[in-house]
Amino acid sequence: MDQTLKLKDIHLPDPVGWWPPAIGWWLLLVLIPLFAALLWWFYKRVIQQSALKTAQKLLDDIKEGGGADLQRLQQLSAWLRRVAMTISGREKVAGLTGEAWLKELDKSVEGAPFSEGIGRCLVEAQYQKELKEKVNVSELFELCERWLKGQKK
């Protein structure tokens, strides 16, 4: 009598398909863009904070520096333009002049102190040889500090 068992041949399992991916791939698919967005946000925040700190230092330097009122007004006007271009972007701010420039500055402070108040003198300061009227420079510095604080929001 034949004692051999009739065994069936070895059956290999079906090959593993690529779909659906394992949970680790799903997590990577979600976490990598999230991590990239977080890095971008952090980078922009660090750049903005350092720009604001530098702007505050420059404003303090202008405030403490001596010189005629016209010279300080010209420095303030240039400072405002530089800071606005750094924070808002060159394409948004660089081409603004006159009333449009003052209204852009008014967006960061309450009321309209640039277009209707003391800030109006900044528009023409760059083009004057001497001041036509007396300007309260300390009040203008306070306005610029309020504007800078408005940029942090």
Question: For residues 149 and 58, what is the distance between their CA atoms, to the nearest angstrom?
Answer: 14
Q: Per-residue pLDDT tens for 11-28?
A: 899 998 889 999 999 999
Q: How far is CA 78 from CA 59, 68, 85, 125, 138, in A?
A: 11, 16, 11, 10, 17
Predicted local confidence at residue 28, as pLDDT: 97
The DSSP result for 59-123, as a single string, is HHHHHHS---HHHHHHHHHHHHHHHHHHHH-HHHHTT--HHHHHHHHHTTSSS-TTTTSGGGHHH
46-75: pLDDT as tens digits: 988 999 999 999 999 999 987 788 888 999
What is the pTM for the complete model shown?
Answer: 0.72
Average pLDDT (126-151) is: 87
pLDDT of residue 35: 98
Average pLDDT over residues 94-114: 91
Maximum average pLDDT range among 23-27, 63-67, 85-89, 114-118? 23-27
By the 8 A CB rule, do 98 and 122 touch? no
- Taking all residues of the chain, what is their mean pLDDT, rounded to a whole number? 89
Q: What is the pLDDT of residue 1?
A: 59
Among 24-33, 95-104, 144-153, the minimum mean pLDDT is found in 144-153
Q: Is 103's pLDDT higher than 90?
A: yes
- What is the average per-residue pLDDT within 78-97? 90
Q: Residue 153: pLDDT above 70? A: no
112 has a pLDDT exceeding 80: yes
* pLDDT at residue 87, rounded to an integer: 85
